[in-house]
Structure 1
Amino acid sequence: MIDTHLTSRIFLTLTLSLISTLSYGQKIFSVKTDNRVEALSIFFTLATADTLNTKPTPSTYYRDVKAYFERYKD
């Protein structure tokens, strides 16, 4: 048989874990991009435009940055 003391400790541990998870959980979650990170990404894309033939991931982001800065190329 399982010791009642051990059973109560397991129950208490699980209860406290559940309460702490529910009470400290973030209710509203919003994802935002820091403008500085976006600027660094654009600078990197522009700086490596002539050194890399293909970007690591094909995305519309690289195409949009390239199209936006095309008129300033030379």
Structure 2
Amino acid sequence: MGSESRKKLLPLDPVTFSNESKAVIDFIVDYYENVEKYPVQSTIEPGYLSAMLPDSAPYFPEPLQDILEDVSN
């Protein structure tokens, strides 16, 4: 990350951490309350995800809401 053009990573904001943690818990609770809506077996081909992964982790995270939408689709 030695580039001057990249933003400095900031420490974890406690309020953001609390809010996002609650959002993840709500997501899990909703899953368990509606588990009968989900297929028992995956409908995805094995290995499909590996071709979609980037070569390295991102420097800037996506918003949590975007991630939860990806997981639920």
Fold conserved (TM > 0.5)? no
Q: Identify which of structures 1 and 2 has the higher relative contact order when contacts are C-alpha pairs closer than 8 Å and 6+ apart.
A: 2
State the TM-score, normalizing by the size of structure 2: 0.34
State the TM-score, normalizing by the size of structure 1: 0.34
Structure (1 or 2) with the larger CA radius of gyration: 1
